[in-house]
């Protein structure tokens, strides 16, 4: 029994050591993702040509979303006189101010805080017309004017600090494991609704639902990461391998076996496995672009609009890289007289 335990313990220790070694060395198989066929394509091409695989790397990384501190505006904001707030128990504004000053209300930030501002402004307008507000009407009107005058400031703070919006527009830490149309459609709809709300803010309670969806899902961020990483990998592969017709030996008469193997590798790993994923990624990105454009028109910070402009172009960049990657293979098929689709 003791010898069996020693064997088990020894086997376990070996497995752990091997796993740790794999994690620290280059060349270990990456976690399954939409990029997996591309890694396989890299290995098969290099094996066929007898050269080292390309060192695929997520570099250069795209510009990240500007940090909160650079997006928050500076300056002083107006606030209602505390004594005035105590004299508003006869109208809705008093309740809203009390809720805002509560411990739970102070936790609200981002766009939810901005929505509170909209509600408060509407309530103050109503309160100014209330018969019991006659003695403080002028003070209320001044408070309304001051609050309305800082709308741009409030919006900039809301956009800068909203975690859900930042999550929906930031690059993910990992690529997608697979393309999920249902998840994408759900997240896209939430982002559309949020963009529509920013275009015409209202008191609707649906804002919290859309924000919750975008805050809890990593799909959009992983989609951005997948598109950029796929583009970089395709470019690195194209630049790494030598001229395919010459490497395949099709510069002279006859079709060497190596050329046939390269053709089969391309058809199996690029055409059959990778190309459908590329089509899905670019199609989803195309559906995002109108939302990016709508957000650019509404978001107040120039650096954030510039970031969105670059983010929206990544799908087109991937399309260009895909076309460029295919060109050497078209030359191979022509030089070796392979029939397209064979």
Lowest mean pLDDT among 103-117, 166-180, 195-209, 257-271: 103-117
- Return the structure tokens found at 94: 């008093």
With beta carbons less than 8 A apart as the criterion, state whether 237 and 325 touch: yes
pLDDT at 88: 79
Most confident of 22-31, 73-82, 307-316: 307-316
User: What single DSSP character describes residue 293?
Assistant: H
Lowest mean pLDDT among 127-136, 148-157, 187-196: 127-136
CA separation (Å) from 19 to 11, 24, 43, 173?
12, 9, 21, 22
Mean pLDDT, rounded, of the chain: 85
pLDDT at 293: 96
With beta carbons less than 8 A apart as the criterion, state whether 332 and 262 touch: yes
pLDDT at 30: 61
Residue with tokens 């940090």: 67
User: What single DSSP character describes residue 8?
Assistant: H
SS3 content of the chain, % helix, strand, coil (to 5): 75, 0, 25
pLDDT of 104 strictly over 90: no
Mean pLDDT of the 24-38 span: 70
The gap from C-alpha 128 to its chain's centroid, in whole angstroms, comes to 44
How far apart CA 185 and CA 187 sit, in angstroms, is 6
User: What single DSSP character describes residue 272?
Assistant: I
**41-83 per-position pLDDT tens digit:** 999 999 999 999 999 999 999 999 999 999 998 876 666 555 4
pLDDT at 77: 67
pLDDT of 327 strictly over 90: yes
pLDDT at 331: 93
Residue closest to 270 by CA, chosen among 32, 30, 35, 28? 35
For the entire predicted model, the pTM comes to 0.84
């Amino acid at each position: 029994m003791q010898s069996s335990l020693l064997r088990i313990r020894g086997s376990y220790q070996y497995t752990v050591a091997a796993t740790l070694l794999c994690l620290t060395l280059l060349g270990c198989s990456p976690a399954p993702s939409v990029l997996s066929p591309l890694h396989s394509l890299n290995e098969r091409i290099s094996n066929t040509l007898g050269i080292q695989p390309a060192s695929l790397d997520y570099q250069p990384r795209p510009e990240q979303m500007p940090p909160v501190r650079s997006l928050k505006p500076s300056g002083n904001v107006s606030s209602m006189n505390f004594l005035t707030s105590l004299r508003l128990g006869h109208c809705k504004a008093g309740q809203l101010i009390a809720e805002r000053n509560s411990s739970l209300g102070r936790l609200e930030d981002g766009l939810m805080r901005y929505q509170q501002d909209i509600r408060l402004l509407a309530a103050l307008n109503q309160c100014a017309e209330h018969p019991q507000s006659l003695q403080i009407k002028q003070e209320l009107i001044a408070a309304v004017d001051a609050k309305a005058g800082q709308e741009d400031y409030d919006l900039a703070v809301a956009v800068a600090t909203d975690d859900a919006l930042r999550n929906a527009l930031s690059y993910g830490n990992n690529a997608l494991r697979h393309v999920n149309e249902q998840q994408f459609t759900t997240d896209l709809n939430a982002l559309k609704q949020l963009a529509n709300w920013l275009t015409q803010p209202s008191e609707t309670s649906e804002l919290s639902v859309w924000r919750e969806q975008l805050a809890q899902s990593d799909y959009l961020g992983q989609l951005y990461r997948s598109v950029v990483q796929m583009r970089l990998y395709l470019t690195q592969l194209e630049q790494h391998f030598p001229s395919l017709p010459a490497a395949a030996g099709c510069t002279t008469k006859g079709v060497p076996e190596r050329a046939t193997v390269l053709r089969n590798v391309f058809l199996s790993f690029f055409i059959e496995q990778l190309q459908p994923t590329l089509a899905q990624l670019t199609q989803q990105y195309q559906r995002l672009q109108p939302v990016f454009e709508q957000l650019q028109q509404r978001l107040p910070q120039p650096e954030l609009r510039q970031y969105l402009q670059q983010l929206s172009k990544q799908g087109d960049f991937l399309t260009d890289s895909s076309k460029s990657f295919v060109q050497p293979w078209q030359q191979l098929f022509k030089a070796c007289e392979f029939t397209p689709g064979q």
